[in-house]
Amino acid sequence: MPKVDVNGIALHYEEQGAGAPVLLIMGLATQLIAWPPAFVDGLAARGYRVIRFDNRDIGLSSKTGGPAPQAKDVLRGVASKRLAKSDYLLSDMADDAAGLIDALNLGPTHVVGVSMGGMIAQELAIRHPDKVASLTSIMSNTGSKLHGKPAASFLGEFRKSFLAARPTTREEAVEFGMNAWRQISGPHLDETELRGMIEAAIERDPDPIGRVRQISAILASPDRTAQLRQLDVPTLVVHGLIDRLVTPSGGIATAKAIPGSRLLMFPDMAHDLPRPRIPEILDAVVANAERGAAAQGHSGVRHPA
């Protein structure tokens, strides 16, 4: 299994295709196998080298030692960012991604992130602009407490789920995962495909503690809006109009913050990548990557006059 050592941790990655590199960064407590095959295969078929990886604390990548944050600490962080505590921040996870780019000698890379992965992708563009040829942020936000907050109706479900007893059997774990995805997905959810992915994820990583650590990293990380305004990289923002986990204002705020970005929103997309919309999303990602290829030679950061 291919792994690279970066920042003192081992990152597991997989790749397919050949051509300009595209780095896919997955979201909260979600492994690289969650990327829809149609999306990964579609990028490879269009002439890209597609790299996926498991973020730290999830899948086959390294796990953080020591006790994880307690549920009460996480809920305090949900209530107030200043009360959030974490062993690391999204910026550290962005440095992980930068280390992977260096380890694989990718050079400037087209970066696509979903949800927490979009936050990491934004941090990567902020902290390592020379490594990002284009940026796509999907169903994400800027870290501002004013935009992209979970819907009030979802927060109640989240608290109940978070405080519920952990699954003790494999079947309970599968059903827990299925229910979690049902809460955030839209009308195009394929439950057969989802169940297969969740079963594979449990086989790869039966310990869900990474979920708590990654939530804590999100909650403890600062607002990125001011830094996003300084970016000079071709950017695509994609969001669903029925997203309850990261409400649409998160995508709108991201597009407003990053100069020259393009915003694509779908009325039938929630916090998922709906199969019927994948061809359109692929077209937009590739168009943005082509903008990035044409813009090579720029610094990636807007410098003060």
| pLDDT tens for each residue of 170-181 | 999 999 999 999
Predicted confidence band of residue 148 (pLDDT cuts 50, 70, 90)? very high
The confidence score (pLDDT) of residue 300 equals: 45
Q: Provide CB contacts within 8 A for 173, sequence distance 6+.
A: 167, 202, 206, 208
Predicted confidence band of residue 109 (pLDDT cuts 50, 70, 90)? very high
| pLDDT tens for each residue of 272-292 | 999 999 999 999 999 999 999
- Is 71 among the domain residues? yes
- Is 302 among the domain residues? no
Q: Please tell me the distance from the alpha carbon of residue 129 to that of residue 138, in angstroms, as a whole number.
A: 19
- Is 299 among the domain residues? no
Cα torsion 217, 201, 68, 149: sign: positive
Q: Counting beta carbons within 10 angstroms of the beta carbon of residue 174, is it exposed (0 to 12), middle (13 to 18) or buried (19 or more)?
A: middle
- Is 301 among the domain residues? no
- 5-9, 51-55, 104-108, 165-169, range with the lowest pLDDT: 165-169
- Is 283 among the domain residues? yes
pTM comes to 0.93
The confidence score (pLDDT) of residue 65 equals: 86
Mean pLDDT value of segment 43-61: 97
Structure tokens at 293: 């290829």
Element (H, E) at 91: helix 90-103
The confidence score (pLDDT) of residue 73 equals: 66
- Is 63 among the domain residues? yes
Mean pLDDT value of segment 149-160: 80
The confidence score (pLDDT) of residue 305 equals: 35
What is the number of domains present in the chain?
1
Mean pLDDT value of segment 99-115: 98
Average pLDDT, the chain: 91
Predicted confidence band of residue 206 (pLDDT cuts 50, 70, 90)? confident
Q: Please tell me the distance from the alpha carbon of residue 88 to that of residue 85, in angstroms, as a whole number.
A: 9
- Is 247 among the domain residues? yes
Q: Which residue has the higher pLDDT, 59 or 83?
A: 59
| pLDDT tens for each residue of 245-265 | 999 999 999 999 999 999 999
The confidence score (pLDDT) of residue 6 equals: 94
Residue 303 pLDDT more than 50? no
Question: Helix crossing, 191-204 with 170-184: angle to 10°?
Answer: 130
- Is 300 among the domain residues? no
Q: Please tell me the distance from the alpha carbon of residue 104 to that of residue 153, in angstroms, as a whole number.
A: 43
Residues in the chain: 305
The CATH number given to whatever domain includes residue 144 is 3.40.50.1820
The range of the structural domain enclosing residue 217 comes to: 3-294
Q: Provide CB contacts within 8 A for 46, sequence distance 6+.
A: 282, 286
Predicted confidence band of residue 81 (pLDDT cuts 50, 70, 90)? low
Predicted confidence band of residue 142 (pLDDT cuts 50, 70, 90)? very high
- Phi-psi region for residue 51, left (φ > 0), alpha (ψ -120 to 50) or beta? beta
The confidence score (pLDDT) of residue 72 equals: 61
Q: Please tell me the distance from the alpha carbon of residue 284 to that of residue 255, in angstroms, as a whole number.
A: 14
| pLDDT tens for each residue of 118-132 | 999 999 999 999 999
